[in-house]
Chain A
Amino acid sequence: MSRDRVERAVFAVLRPVVVVCFLIATLLPFYYMLMLSLRPIEDLLRRPDSLFVDLGRLTLDTYVDVLRPVAEGGQGFLELLGNSAVVATASVLVALVIAVPGAYAVGRLEFFGRRHVSSLFLAVYLFPGIVLAIPLFVLLTRMQLRGSLVGLVLVYIAQTVPVAIYMLKNYFETIPVSVEEAGLVDGLSRVGVIRRISLPLAMPSVVATGIFVFMIAWNEFLFALLFLVERRDSWTVSLGLAQLSGSIEVPTTVLMAGSVVITLPVVLLFFLTEGLLSQGLTSGAEKG
């Protein structure tokens, strides 16, 4: 048999095997998370090696426990989910309001320093959060803004606007100039063109960018830890889960329910918009 035939045969077998291995590796931890969240803790301790829920012992008490307010003996995740939702939504709205005009300017308008602006944003995007954390921590301590969600939202905006501009800019560049010129000829101002013509055309990209910002703000941990740790009532869910996962008093299965609760919104959003999102992020990569 020739080398070519051997290789083809090997890869024909290997390819599906590799795909299945990757699927197991990526999905198993999430399945495990879900499975543990539906079992009572005693059941987990008795049969740690089981991969299946005993249907007779299936329980949703873990979810009740994790969501119930602290005052009623629960872990208060419902309130924390509210905090996260407020922080993430505010970050998305403000970031988009700032980034849409900015991206249009960088993508379409010729002005002094346009190129430098792009590399500045890239640098900001790449810059280590931990270096930034120290002065911001000191600053907020001084302004007595630590523990307030406003400070957190400001940081999230600053961290996401550069990448949002990058994603949106790529899309604005694909809109034919002639469409916009027609608007200008008809007497619209530049801002009018953006609002009436470019923005509606760029809507898919705006949505994808908004979701991306939402996921970053929802998942963020370091700044939430630094700014909010002393005030339990303003914790985000990520911070809440991290703080409680170290304690012995809260059963692991209850915290698994908490993990499912914080993971679900992000994964759902992601699955709904996966195509849009991947395209928005990698639109520079096809060119090589």
Chain B
Amino acid sequence: MARTLRQHDARTGLLLLTPTLVIVLAVVLVPLAWSVLIAFQRVRLIDVGRTGLFEKLTADNFARVFASDVLWNSLRTTVVYTAGSTFLAIALGLVAALAVRRPFPGRAFVRAAMLIPYVAPVVAVTFVWRVLLNPEFGIVNSWGRRLFGWDDPVAFLSQGRGEITLFGLDVPVPTALLTVIAFEGWRYFPFAFLFLLARLSALPGDLEEAATVDGATPTQRFRHIVLPQLMPVIAVLVVLRTIWTFNEFDDIFLLTGGAAGTEVVSVRVYELLTVQRNVGAAAAQSVLLAVVLVVLVGAYLWLLRRREGTRT
């Protein structure tokens, strides 16, 4: 009786899961496989209707993509952008989570308010940032000139290379890229904040209390008790944010359109697809993006496992 129920459950389980599997297969896995196939074919948008599934295979697309300087530039930009944004978002999220950890009046509101950048439509927030940073009538530039005495308005989103004077030295800075990274930090710190705060509230208090009794200062308690317990969550956040930022398209496309030294790989793929209408090259580039991503994440997981291995 028990056995038949289990068999029955097994059948029901698969049955209940079938719709999900069908749609994931049809809209994600098959197109994915097809994308790899297209990457090895000569496909232009114009003849998309005529090319068969088994068009002659060729590595031309990859040869073309690898040969161009644009690829290496955009790959470098993507890596800088990903590393900077991931770090900034998690660091800000950690600071915010620690600041609202203890109860205070209005905490619930503060908590909810800090999540708004993450839930608001990307098109609306990028647009507001563009207006805020606008050289002509944006409030950042008009306040910057009034309060900090900037001589000229800063074109935050269209200036590829600017210079700031530090201790009498002119230091070149990639203005637009830094602005985009700052935007990412602003938009995605709530995600880290949410997960870190959930973990913080679930930490058992006794260890910290014992440390307080033993005379540990707040920074010592953070360094030796709280942070180690947060590390697993931070590690997961690093992986997730790296994956998502590496492929991020919307934010950069909407902020700068990929101009001024912010052309990341995903924006380049979009241009190959819609402006140059070269489907094959776009697919090759995107497959490359996916491969780099898998390698990065794989390396990270491998490092993590090895470190854990040496510790125990």
Contacts and interface: CB of A to CB of B under 8 A. Distances in A.
Contact of B289 (A111, A128, A157): A128
Contact of A221 (B17, B122, B128): B122
Contacts of A141: 45, 48-49
Given A134-B273, A190-B12, A285-B199, A161 B116 contact: no
A216 B230 CA distance: 28
Contact of B290 (A102, A131, A288): A131
A161 B250 contact: no
B35 A134 contact: yes
Interface in A17-58: 18-19, 22-23, 25-27, 29-30, 32-33, 36, 44-45, 48-49, 51
A138 B137 contact: no
A48 B142 contact: yes
A286 B266 CA distance: 34
B39 to A, nearest CB: 9
A154 interface: yes
Contacts of A117: 17, 21
A274 interface: yes
A281 interface: yes
B290 to A, nearest CB: 5
Interface string A1-24: 001100110010001001100110
Interface in A90-107: 97-99, 101-102, 104-106
Given A282-B198, A285-B233, A288-B229, A158 B13 contact: no
A70 interface: no
Interface residues of A, number: 98
A263 interface: yes
B8 interface: yes
Contacts of A26: 113-114, 116-117, 186, 190
Nearest to B50: A142
B12 A49 contact: no
A129 interface: yes
A134 B23 contact: no
A275 to B, nearest CB: 8
A82 to B, nearest CB: 16
Contacts of A245: 123, 127, 130
A98 B215 CA distance: 55
Given A132-B35, A241-B127, A161 B23 contact: yes
Given A134-B283, A252-B131, A45 B137 contact: yes
Interface in A246-281: 252, 255-256, 259-260, 262-263, 266-267, 270-271, 274, 278, 281
Contacts of A222: 249-250
A132 B254 contact: no
A112 B10 contact: yes
The SS class assigned to the B binding surface is helix
B223 to A, nearest CB: 12
A215 B122 CA distance: 11
A95 B194 CA distance: 25
A212 B111 CA distance: 18
A271 B111 CA distance: 11
B17 A102 contact: yes
A241 B38 contact: no
A139 interface: yes
Contacts of A102: 16-17, 19-20
A121 B24 contact: yes
Contacts of B198: 278, 282, 285-286
Nearest to A184: B5
Contacts of A97: 19
A11 B142 CA distance: 33
A120 B274 CA distance: 30
A145 to B, nearest CB: 12
Interface string A147-187: 00000001101110110010000000000000000001000
B301 interface: no
A270 B116 contact: yes
B52 to A, nearest CB: 11
A203 interface: no
A130 interface: yes
A60 interface: no
Contacts of B309: none
B32 interface: yes
B119 interface: yes
14 contacts: A19-B100, A33-B124, A33-B128, A48-B137, A49-B142, A101-B17, A105-B13, A109-B12, A130-B270, A215-B119, A219-B123, A245-B130, A263-B120, A270-B119
| A-B pairs with lowest CB-CB distance, top 5 | A109-B13, A158-B27, A128-B247, A111-B13, A135-B31
Interface of B: 5-6, 8-17, 19-21, 23-24, 26-29, 31-32, 34-35, 38, 43, 45, 48-49, 95-96, 99-100, 102, 110-117, 119-125, 127-132, 136-139, 142-143, 146, 186, 190, 194-195, 198-199, 201-202, 215, 217-219, 229, 232-233, 240, 243-244, 246-247, 249-250, 254, 266, 269-270, 273-274, 279, 282-283, 286-287, 289-290, 293
Given A101-B17, A114-B13, A128-B286, 20 more contacts: A7-B219, A22-B114, A27-B116, A30-B120, A45-B137, A98-B20, A121-B20, A126-B240, A129-B249, A134-B35, A161-B24, A162-B24, A165-B20, A190-B9, A191-B12, A238-B122, A245-B123, A256-B131, A263-B124, A281-B194
